[in-house]
Amino acid sequence: MTAEKLLFLGDSLTEGGDWAAWFPDDEVINQGVGGDTTADVIARLDDVVAADPDSVVLLIGTNDFAQRRSVEQVVRTIETIMVDLRRLLPGVRLLLQSIPPRGSDYSDRIQDANRHLRQFAATVRAQYLDLWPALATGDVLNPDFTEDGLHFTEEGYQAWLSELRPGLERLRDEPPMSRPISIIRPSESA
């Protein structure tokens, strides 16, 4: 397996990961920022482009729900992030991860958003990784994986990695895109 420049993009869940230790054969960039929402990630896309990664691993959206954004707002903004990444970095491999579970009051909206994101990923030639089965107990984040109902313990990160490692192997099997693809931005659709 050849070394890649692997960029992790997201909020505090990403920021808290020890990605360089977990993927020692790659050049790892952690662009997780605590408290970030989907809009914050859009504002930071120039940093992602400047890093010129081979692969981008995105996990974002839980803070949007905490700020009472609608499923449609969250989905559309994540779609915009993915479209912009594909346009700005046409050769990059993209891995979109599902928004992880948290408390039961968030469950229906997060699962609804994840259904839309799963369907959307292929339109930008991204792979989708569903973390819900590995992290949830019923409709909440497994209490063994968290101390506050949101952030992961070491056990939570290990459960995430149990899905992420094979997901990244599948992603690496995909050839990089050699040319841009035409995409209608979500805001342009009729």
CATH of the domain at 39: 3.40.50.1110
How high is the pLDDT of residue 149?
Answer: 93
The verdict on residue 38 lying in a domain is yes
Q: Is 28 domain-assigned?
A: yes
Specify the pLDDT at position 173.
86
DSSP symbol at 146: B
User: Is position 62 within any domain?
Assistant: yes
Question: Residue 22, Cα to own-chain centre: how many angstroms?
Answer: 17
List of the chain residues with pLDDT < 70: 1, 175-190
Tens of pLDDT along 149-180?
999 999 999 999 999 999 999 999 876 665 44
179 lies in some domain? no
The pLDDT assigned to 190 comes to 46
In a domain, 89, yes or no: yes
Residues 99, 59, 150, CA angle at the centre, nearest 5°? 55
Res 185: pLDDT? 55
Q: Is 181 a domain residue?
A: no
Distance separating alpha carbons of residues 133 and 4, to the nearest angstrom: 28
Number of domains in the chain: 1
Domain membership of residue 125 (yes or no) is yes
- DSSP-derived pairing of the beta strands 127-129 and 93-97: parallel
Is residue 177 included in any domain, yes or no?
A: no
User: Which residue range forms the structural domain that includes residue 104?
Assistant: 5-171
- Measured at the CA of 33, the angle between CA 29 and CA 35, to 5 degrees, comes to 160
